[in-house]
Amino acid sequence: MKIVLASKNSGKLEEFNYLFKNTNFELIPISEFTNKEIEETGTSYEENAFIKAKFASDISGLPSLGDDSGLEVEALNGEPGIFSARYAGEKGNDNLNNNKLLDELSLKKDKSAKFISILSFLHPELKISLFSYGELFGKIINSPRGKGGFGYDPIFQIKNSKLTLAEVSKEKRMKISHRTISTLKMINLLNESKM
């Protein structure tokens, strides 16, 4: 089955393709149908993931997969949360987001945090909607380490590890990440639903 992936983020595309490679599902990037930006107007990860999946499904007529993910920091009451990608503003980037987060946390003792990933699958003909959830616990460190991954990975130290998500190998990251957990759950749901 062909599934349109409602993301243009190259890091995410690479991870999803890696996770789906030995399945009966073929991922097609939304860029093959449109270059329009999908507005994330939801108030939760679930809403944003569904908005993306619905947009991709409407524009392609195919089953679709939307994702929303974010970093939640305990001492900042769960911020940046659903605004993780836009934490430093609409024109922000990974560097600016990371710097803003480190500034906000500079006087806080508790640095515990978790990554969250929500996936939303939509099948327009069968009227099927599925959700899956994954999380990875850790803490924020004071300065970036590692060259792998993207986003907040260089300042996120994995729980029970001395390494950041940007320091572990791609193979290791693809075993433990929040996105891996939610994706493997989704693949199971898709297989169980026998579409």
CATH number, residue 84: 3.90.950.10
pLDDT value, residue 3? 97
pLDDT band at 148 (very low <50, low <70, confident <90, very high): confident
The stretch 15-24 carries a mean pLDDT of 93
Nearest of 54, 27, 29 to residue 41 by alpha carbon: 54
Is pLDDT of 19 > 90?
A: yes
Reported residue count of the chain is 195
* Number of domains within the chain: 1
Structural domain boundaries, residue 41: 2-193
Crossing angle, helix 178-193 and helix 10-20, to 10 degrees? 50
The model carries a pTM of: 0.91
Kindly report, residue by residue over 172-186, the tens digit of the pLDDT. Answer: 999 999 999 999 999
Rounded (5°) CA angle 59-63-66: 80
Does an H or E element contain 57, and which?
helix 45-60
Cα–Cα distance for residue pair 188/170, rounded to 1 Å: 22
Cα–Cα distance for residue pair 50/60, rounded to 1 Å: 15
Q: Please measure the distance between the N-terminal and C-terminal CA atoms of the chain and give it in whole angstroms.
A: 8
pLDDT value, residue 95? 94
Residue of 58, 67, 68, 103 marked catalytic = 68
Active site residue 68: yes
